Amino acid sequence: MTDAVTGTDFIALLREHGQWPQARLGDPSATLGLESTEATTILAVRYRDGVLVAGDRRATMGNTVVYDRADKVLMVDDRSVIAIAGSPANAYEIVRMLEMSFQHYRRSQLQELSLEGKLRTLSRLLRENLPMALQGIGAVIPIYATYDEADVTGKIFFYDMLGAQFESVDFCTTGSGSTMIRGALYYHNRWDVPLSQMDEGQSLELILKMLETAAEFDTATGGFRPIANVFPQVMRVNAAGISSIEESVLESLYETRLSQRRQG
């Protein structure tokens, strides 16, 4: 069956061959007694040259910290990344299927899938995940960031668990700690230097401050831990492609700011 957006319905093809676990997602009995692992705070900020996407590293199960080095910002292709909040197991599977869908389209159509097609493919995958989300243990709330070469700018898109997609012009944050920092980001964008006019260094420093603030007031969000050498995960999306901010850069920035504060 041909899809108007993707050219080939890759997800339907997998389901036809028994590779897409639709039955598992709709089976409430499979989740009884389970408490799922949750990823927590993620955010994306559009700066002068692109987008910075970041997340803390903590994964929780109820009130228990199960892991403090979780990757919540994942590369999908050469131009886009996804940050995940919610169930990491389901999110990682959705990201894997999204990456495979993009590759399938590229190889079968001999061209890149359009931005609209990529956004709609992610919406479909989130809708496929709805049965798990309704059971309360499998919700995935992602942020999708890309660099649009046609508009020569970074773009940020937010999704709800039903797959509805919204474009965020300047910033976006979701997860358990997002309520603590959304207002601060709005205030900074409104009354201080606009986020879109910041250089990368300014934007990075703001992101680290926001994650530290979220960690202070939200127990599910992990903060900077110098003794354990745990840092947030930050990726840049710009005209040059996608790359990670090195932990050595984050460590230097933390040490510089904390040292200045002690001296001041």
Is 40 in the active site?
yes
CA distance between the termini of the chain = 66
Q: What residues have CB less than 8 Å from 141, skipping those under 6 apart?
A: 84, 85, 86, 159, 160, 161, 174, 175
Are β-strands 64-67 and 59-61 bridged in parallel, bridged antiparallel, or unpaired?
A: antiparallel
Of the residues 2, 8, 37, 40, which is catalytic?
40
CA neighbor of 59 nearest in space, from 33, 81, 29, 84? 84
> Is residue 257 classed exposed, middle or buried when 0-12, 13-18 and 19+ CB atoms within 10 A define those classes?
middle
Q: How many CA atoms lie within 13 A of 94 on its CB side?
A: 36
Residues labelled as active-site residues: 40
